[in-house]
Amino acid sequence: MELERRSCQVPRPLLLLLLLLLGLSAGAVISQPGEEGKEVWDYVTVREDAHMFWWLYYATNPCKNFSELPLVMWLQGGPGGSSTGFGNFEEIGPLDSKLKPRRTTWLQSASLLFVDNPVGTGFSYVNKSNAYARDLARVAADMMVLLKTFFDGHKEFQMIPFYIFSESYGGKMAAGIGLELYKAIQQGSIKCNFAGVALGDSWISPIDSVLSWGPYLYSMSLLDERGLAEVLKVAEQILDAVNKGLFKEATQLWGQAEMVIEQNTDGVNFYNILTKNTPKSAMKSSLEFTQNHLVRLSQHHVRRLQEDALSQLMNGPIRKKLKIIPEDQSWGGQSMSVFENMAGDFMKPVISIVDELLEAGVNVTVYNGQLDLIVDTMGQEAWLRKLKWPELPKFTQLKWKALYSEPKSLETSAFVKSHKNLAFYWILRAGHMVPSDQGDMALKMMRLVTQQE
């Protein structure tokens, strides 16, 4: 018994790693559904001229079969950021972008489903320009087609707890998708064991994020009083546009607000305020480029998710491995169009959707990196206070609990507060991409959310 217990603490077998590495040139590992290390991928035509790509890894825990562990779907932000690329190779997948094994991969505690969403993202693609999604409703409807196809074709996952984890704009999409999935399950059109959504540094209420940028930067000594006044001024203009329902104008002003912040902070990194963003020459070029605010915003928030090294990996060895990517499509080739087509949706809040999820009894987890600016924790806390959920007062009154990534660690890694079906994790020393910045704590959080700890 002791020998068995100790063997469960050993990292994933070397054989599994070898299979994963060999898969880069030999295609998917051919195996029975219960075998560790299996990977499968495919396209789903979610509607005419719209094709969505997904990639599944079966869990690789040496002590448990995949059927004893949850299934986690990961949704990237942008919109236009690729889950199969960035989320997989930069955050939680089995290999990093240099194809080295990731010590903190979530695959050791869950099967992982990466989906390039919305259509046109990553390896997903459209055949006609009118097939891009333009709002959250279309994004969610497309995902319902994919999830129905997936669970109908992979019945071994129908009873396994299914969680949607997300990041950035992916959180906004996860909320809408989660609500539609709940309805589909109630109606009997999709069979799966939906266990909850996790909204990471999520664009749930854009205006609450924007209004908090100035105070947050000022509190961190990254703005002086004059700079604070300039940021607050443009934030109020955005608020006015949102209140009037002028969402495209609000998006344009959002771009202006980012420029004002960069000019006053010597180019602060919106994704981790302690990390330098770009060289000054590149920053100056970016600041001067104001002719098309959508192009500038997409370069800021999507291009960084498909940097040259990752793009070369995805369009090189990974494309060769997958074999099914159409010859006329490249990874990330349509991402800017995805972003631009969603322009009218950017600044719309989805607090009411989170309320509906909570009222329906769906488990909702919010988690945020301490050093994130684009979706800072102050803004997350602000929209949480706006929830109409009857249990919110009890949640608010609770004291948070300290968490440690390692049992014997003396350094606090996070705080958590949880009541009924709502939980909030404050992840310390992490920016926007929590698993990249604090892999151990992110893995621990995932295990806590999926009730493995």
DSSP string, 35-86: STT-EEEEEEEEETTEEEEEEEE----TTS-GGGS-EEEEE--TTT--IIII
Separation of alpha carbons 220 and 275, rounded Å: 14
Alpha carbons 345 and 172: distance in angstroms, whole number: 10
Question: Is the model's pLDDT at 432 over the cut of 50?
Answer: yes
Cis peptide before 118 (omega within 30 of 0): yes
In this predicted structure, what is the pLDDT of residue 296? 57
Question: Could you tell me the two tokens for 49?
Answer: 């001229």
125/232 same-domain check: no
Mean pLDDT (whole number) for 124-146: 97
pTM: 0.89
Considering only 207-221, 255-269, 297-311, which range has the smallest mean pLDDT?
Answer: 297-311
> Mean pLDDT, to the nearest integer, of 164-181?
97
Q: Which of 244, 271, 304 is the last residue of a domain?
A: 304
**Cβ–Cβ < 8 Å for 163, 71:** yes
Same domain, 182 and 229: no
Q: Is 168 an active-site residue?
A: yes
**Is residue 83 a part of any domain in this protein?**
yes
**Is there a single domain that holds both residue 20 and residue 144?**
yes
pLDDT band at residue 4, thresholds of 50, 70 and 90? very low
The pLDDT confidence band at residue 279, using thresholds 50, 70 and 90, is very low
CATH code: domain of residue 74: 3.40.50.1820
- From residue 383, give the alpha-carbon distance in Å to each of 47, 224, 245: 34, 26, 18
Alpha carbons 207 and 393: distance in angstroms, whole number: 23
Residue 259 CA to residue 343 CA, distance in Å, equals 18
Q: Tens of pLDDT along 222-250? A: 999 999 999 999 999 999 999 999 998 89
d(CA 53, CA 205): 28
Residue 280 confidence (pLDDT): 40
Q: What pLDDT shows up at residue 255?
A: 86
Q: Residue 293's pLDDT is what?
A: 56
Q: Is residue 156, in this structure, part of any structural domain at all?
A: yes
Looking at the domain assignment, is residue 49 inside a domain?
yes
Q: Which of 304, 338, 359 is the last residue of a domain?
A: 304
Annotated catalytic residue, options 168, 205, 286, 436: 168
Q: CA Rg, the chain, in Å?
A: 21
Q: How confident is the model at residue 25 (pLDDT cuts 50, 70, 90)?
A: very low
Amino acid at 332: G
Q: Would 82 be classed as within a structural domain?
A: yes
Is 179 found in the same domain as 262?
no
372 belongs to the catalytic site: yes
- 302-332 pLDDT per residue, tens: 655 556 889 999 999 999 999 999 999 999 9
Q: Is 155's pLDDT higher than 90?
A: yes
Residue tagged active-site, from 51, 154, 293, 432: 432
Q: Output the pLDDT for position 287.
A: 38
Q: Is residue 142 predicted with pLDDT exceeding 90?
A: yes
Q: Assess whether 14 and 119 both reside in one domain.
A: yes
**CA dihedral in degrees (445, 70, 152, 135; nearest 10)?**
0
Helix/strand/coil (H/E/C) assignment for every residue in 223-255: CCHHHHHHHHHHHHHHHHHHHCCCHHHHHHHHH
User: Percent of the chain beyond pLDDT 90?
Assistant: 77
Query: Are 231 and 125 found together in one domain?
Result: no
Q: Are residues 157 and 216 in the same domain?
A: no
Within this chain, do residues 183 and 289 fall inside the same structural domain, yes or no?
A: no
Average pLDDT of the chain to the nearest whole number: 88
Looking at the structure, do residues 81 and 193 belong to the same domain, yes or no? yes
- The residue range of the domain holding 193 is 2-204+347-449
Same domain, 198 and 91: yes
Candidate list 372, 413, 436, 437, residue with the active-site label: 372
Q: 30: which DSSP letter?
A: P
Cis preceding linkage at 79, omega within 30: yes
- Do 83 and 148 reside in the same domain of the chain? yes
326-335, pLDDT tens digit by residue? 999 999 999 9
Higher pLDDT, 92 or 21: 92
- Name which of 409, 419, 420 is nearest 444 in CA terms: 409
In a domain, 310, yes or no: no
More confident of the two residues 5 and 174: 174
Number of domains observed in the structure of the chain: 2
The share of the chain scoring above pLDDT 70, in percent, equals 85
Q: How far is CA 327 from CA 41, 125, 318, in A?
A: 17, 12, 14
Tell me which H or E stretch contains 417: strand 414-419
Last residue of some domain: 276, 304, 332?
Answer: 304
Q: For the segment 382-414, what is each residue's pLDDT rounded down to a tens digit? A: 999 999 999 999 999 999 999 999 887 789 999
| Residue 335 belongs to some domain of the structure | no
Residue 21 has pLDDT above 70, yes or no: no
**pLDDT exceeds cutoff 50 at 27:** no
Burial 381-406 (b: 16+ CB within 10 A, else e): bbbbeebebeebeebeeeeeeebebe
What would the mean pLDDT of 139-148 be, rounded to a whole number? 98
**Residue 410: what pLDDT?**
82
- Residue 329 falls within a domain, yes or no? no
Q: Could you tell me if residue 24 is inside a domain?
A: yes
Contact 348, 136 (CB under 8 A): yes
107 shares its domain with 45 = yes
